[in-house]
Amino acid sequence: MEPLRITLYNAQQGGVQLQRLCEMAKAHLIAGRRMVVTLKPATRTDEMNARLHATISDVAKQVEWAGQKRDVETWKRLLVAAWSRVRGEPLDYLPAIDGHGVDIVFHRTSKMTQAEVSELCEFIYAWGVDHGVKFTAPEREYA
């Protein structure tokens, strides 16, 4: 059986889809199969993902940090770590597994909810404006 993914948009549609899910699960359970159901907030949309990467790219193209330009992936890590600290979320500073230095383990953007990505983008805009970044992506709310 292929995994089933259902996106719930409102109470009425959600009720219909959840009833359908219950019927499908019941048939598999009667057949002796074990099932796993996961319910979680929606993650970022393709539009939000494009906006996030456009804003980070603008920062990477325009700002030097610690004396040099940094690539998009480095800026993504720096910005997410700073945003996480502003939100009061813990970051793990762990000894590197090869014994050389320290690595930071933080929130992955691919696992963020839509509200979190929207908040992160607003943080990047605010930080960027303070550092002279001219953004190409329009500043909008996507939550």
pLDDT tens digits, residue range 39-97?
A: 887 777 888 889 999 999 999 999 999 999 999 999 999 999 999 999 998 888 899 99
- The answer to whether 48 and 114 have CB atoms below 8 angstroms apart is yes
Residue length of the chain: 143
Residue-range domains of the chain with CATH: 1-39 (no CATH), 46-130 (1.10.3790.10)
Q: Residue 65: what are its φ and ψ, rounded to 5°?
A: -135, 130
Q: How far apart are CA 107 and CA 91, in angstroms?
A: 8
- Tokens standing for residue 132: 């002279």
Q: How far is CA 89 from CA 77, 106, 107, in A?
A: 15, 9, 9
* Percentage of the residues of the chain whose pLDDT score is greater than 70: 95
Q: How far apart are CA 57 and CA 61, in angstroms?
A: 6
Q: How far apart are CA 61 and CA 54, in angstroms?
A: 11
Using 50, 70 and 90 to split pLDDT, how confident is the model at 142? very low
pLDDT of residue 92: 86
Q: How far apart are CA 20 and CA 78, in angstroms?
A: 43
pLDDT of residue 27: 92
Amino acid sitting at position 41: P
- Tokens standing for residue 91: 């970051």
